[in-house]
Amino acid sequence: MHKMQKAYGKERRQEAPPWLDSFLEMQAAERGSSANTLAAYKRDLLDLETFLHDKRKGIAPRDASLDDLRAWLDALAKKQMTAATRARKRSAARRYYAFLAEEGLREDNPTDLLLAGRVSRPLPKALSEEETQRLFAAVYAAEGEGAVRLAAILELLYATGLRISELTRLSVSAVAGAVSDEAASDSAERMILVRGKGGRDRLVPLGDKARQATRRWLELRRALLGDLADDNPWLFPSGRDPQEPMTRQRVFQLLRALAPVAGVELSKVSPHALRHAFATHLLAGGADLRVVQELLGHAAISTTQIYTKVTDKRMQEALRQHHPLADEGAIDEQAIGGKALGGKALGEKATGEKAVGTKAVGAKAVKPTGTRISEEDL
């Protein structure tokens, strides 16, 4: 009985109370927060509620003081949570208490005095161009319906830099224009409409190889769905329930299964790794940082700049391996990368062309990127 009561108490505390529902509704309606963001807010604020219940005499989150919040953050640090996780939880608390203050539900915002802290952002684990080519070679060597679908998924992720949530929720109508016969002769038509974070739409160009792979999948999709094809909106319907889109977990599983076949390290293959590869390979090829920002759908340029650190690191390694003075310690790392060489010094030499046109995405067209980073496609 005691265990049942304890379990019930834990379950009760995990239910979203009215104060949390109101906050989440505001975030969805006024800020356009995604379902994943709302779920993260819910988890983090319920974690705060549990801490206050267990460690701070059951005080309600609405009435927590600055000392209560500092104690919570200290407890998170003692649990050895990463700086990024603690920063996310702190951000959720900030938004919640700002909401209370704006709604007149409390007079102050205790998080105003919380130290923001510095979050160290790890460099993305990007696939090399050679590893990426091996993934494509493996998927095109495979046979069967699943291989056709996976080829389209792989091409789209690497050709466009889509987030996995954006890929799985792509509709047929969003790509129809880009794969049409008209698009074959008009680059302005080779755009797919992507619904990104916060409900922001953007147009992303589609290269020839991605167009061809998507067309092959659409033809097979129609044959598989039969009469249901026209009424099903999803480009990649779920195999279990065609009325729902394929899950992110399923895409992850398919890519991980491809990794050993391609001879690529398992930990380096994921939907997000392909997004990283898209960005780093474009920057290495000379693409403008602002163009890459718009292609990725980043609201702030600072988010995109992390990819320049990846390319700088690779240039440093290339110089260490091939420069005649490297063994003498004559290379100044501070002069490598965006400072002395610039983001496109090695890229233009390798590809012979700039990776992306300089026009902005959106109302203006961007020169479509190819699926593989090479002279032929760029």
Listed by start position, the domains of the chain span 2-113, 129-351
Q: Which fold has domain 129-351?
A: hpI Integrase; Chain A (1.10.443)
Element (H, E) at 172: helix 172-176
Q: At 113, is the pLDDT very low, low, confident or very high (cuts 50, 70, 90)?
A: confident
Longest CA span, the chain = 75
Q: Mean pLDDT, to the nearest integer, of 163-189?
A: 83
Q: What is the CATH number of domain 2-113?
A: 1.10.150.130
pLDDT at res. 179 = 86
Q: Which residues pair with 171 in a beta bridge?
A: 234
DSSP string, 315-333: HHHHHHHH-TTGGGT---G
User: Is 161 in contact with 230 (CB distance < 8 Å)?
Assistant: no
Q: Mean pLDDT, to the nearest integer, of 14-24?
A: 73
**330 or 58: which leads in pLDDT:** 58
Q: At 327, is the pLDDT very low, low, confident or very high (cuts 50, 70, 90)?
A: low
Residues 6+ apart with CB under 8 A from 305: 289
Parallel, antiparallel, or unpaired for β 201-205 and 191-195? antiparallel
Catalytic positions are 163, 197, 272, 275, 298, 307
User: Is 235 in contact with 174 (CB distance < 8 Å)?
Assistant: yes
Residue type, 185: S
User: Is 152 in contact with 216 (CB distance < 8 Å)?
Assistant: yes
* Packing angle of the helix pair 83-102, 35-55 (nearest 10 deg): 90
Q: At 318, is the pLDDT very low, low, confident or very high (cuts 50, 70, 90)?
A: low
Say what the alpha-carbon torsion angle 63, 68, 73, 74 is, to the nearest 10 degrees. -170
d(CA 226, CA 216): 16
Q: Mean pLDDT, to the nearest integer, of 273-286?
A: 90
* Packing angle of the helix pair 271-284, 301-322 (nearest 10 deg): 70
pLDDT exceeds cutoff 70 at 249: yes
